[in-house]
Amino acid sequence: MRLANRSLTIAALLRAFPFRISLTWIMTLGETALMALIPLFIGFAIDGLLSGSPRELMHLGALFVVLIVLAVMRRLYDTRVYSAIRVDLGRAQTVRGENLSLSKLNARIAMGRELVQFLEETLPMVMTGLTQLVIAVVILFTFSPLLALAAGLAAVGSLLVYAFFHGRFYRLNAALNHQTEKQVGILEKRKLPFTTVHFLRLRQAEVRISDSEALLYGLIFTLLLALILFNIWHATTALSATTGAIFAIISYSWDFVDGAVTLPVTLQNWTRLSEIMRRINAQKEGVLQSDGSKSA
């Protein structure tokens, strides 16, 4: 068992399965790079067709074919890799959790699967987002440095907004996980009043997290959509750009927004995983309180 004698963390999973995870990342980066080129190639195709040349459209079609083949291959491979990692992680948690109640062990095994989900879904999303950010900023800079500067300011503003929410997300996820650990034990009692109270507490924790997310992303999207409006205005009024070039500017501005959103999403997921990793590596009953702090 690859995870024997290791802390159950994201870093431990990366060290235990370096080749398999690295290959999924390489395929993800390739797919992301091809995706990022699509708006530029569409812009070329538009300008080419308007000038009577179909060659650029054929280049776009070839790009689509390569992208589809790579995307299918990556997804087939990813499923096999990460399902195998879940098996190894579940076995490790079962061995280490022999002193935990069944309710806590069951909840922590489910939480542990979120670590693999982070590797399988969130990190590829991060790679995609960061690649989109870099390519978008570079291409926007080639049209106008002011477009790239506006994008950078919007990204920094988004990170600053998230910084104010970090502590709240950690506390709310700790409360949700603490209540989740009680579920099997409560259900075993088969008493409706206790079960009802449990589900109401889960609902309360989930609503608080959702409300915080709504406020966070409302503020972030305000910043990012203001960027879109500025770039549209600047591209159409201050630049001597063709129709295809204006389309490319707007597309890459939107790509930047799409990529920038992944930053707070990733940080929010990491906040939750930080609480989970601390929890699943605690071997004793009652080690963590509902706010994630250690009990005496």
For each of the domains in the chain, give its residue range(s) and CATH number, in order of start: 10-280 (1.20.1560.10)
pLDDT tens figures, 38-93: 878 888 888 888 888 888 888 899 999 999 999 999 989 998 999 988 888 888 88
Place of tokens 């999207």: 221
**What's the pLDDT score for residue 111?**
86
Distance CA 231, CA 285 (A): 55
Identify the burial level of 11 via C-beta atoms within 10 angstroms of its C-beta, where 0-12 means exposed, 13-18 middle and 19 or more buried.
exposed
Give bridge partners of residue 294 from the DSSP assignment.
288
pLDDT for the residue 68: 93
* Residues whose CB is less than 8 angstroms from the CB of residue 232 and which lie 6 or more positions away in sequence, other chains included: 250, 253
The closest alpha carbon to 158, from 233, 210, 225, belongs to 225
pLDDT at 4: 67
pTM over 0.75: no
pLDDT of res. 287: 47
How far is 272 from 113, CA to CA, in rounded Å? 13
**Residue 219 is encoded by which pair of tokens?**
């503020």
pLDDT at 64: 92
Give the Cα separation of 149 and 159 in Å (integer).
16
- Residues paired with residue 288 on neighbouring β-strands, in sequence order: 294
Q: How far apart are CA 289 and CA 296, in angstroms?
A: 10
What secondary structure letter does DSSP report for 120? I
Going residue by residue through the chain, which has 296 residues, state the pLDDT in tens, using 9 for 90 and above: 677 677 788 888 888 888 999 999 899 888 888 887 887 888 888 888 888 888 888 889 999 999 999 999 998 999 899 998 888 888 888 888 777 778 888 888 888 888 898 888 888 888 778 877 888 888 889 888 898 898 889 888 988 999 889 999 999 999 998 888 888 888 888 888 888 999 899 999 999 999 999 999 899 989 888 888 888 888 888 777 677 778 888 888 888 888 888 888 888 888 989 888 888 887 544 445 445 555 43
Residue 120 tokens, joined? 């399988």
In sign, the C-alpha dihedral spanning 143, 144, 145, 149 is negative
Each residue of 124-133: pLDDT tens digit?
888 778 877 8
- CA distances 206 to 68, 74, 200, 295, Å, are 37, 33, 10, 24
d(CA 271, CA 264): 10
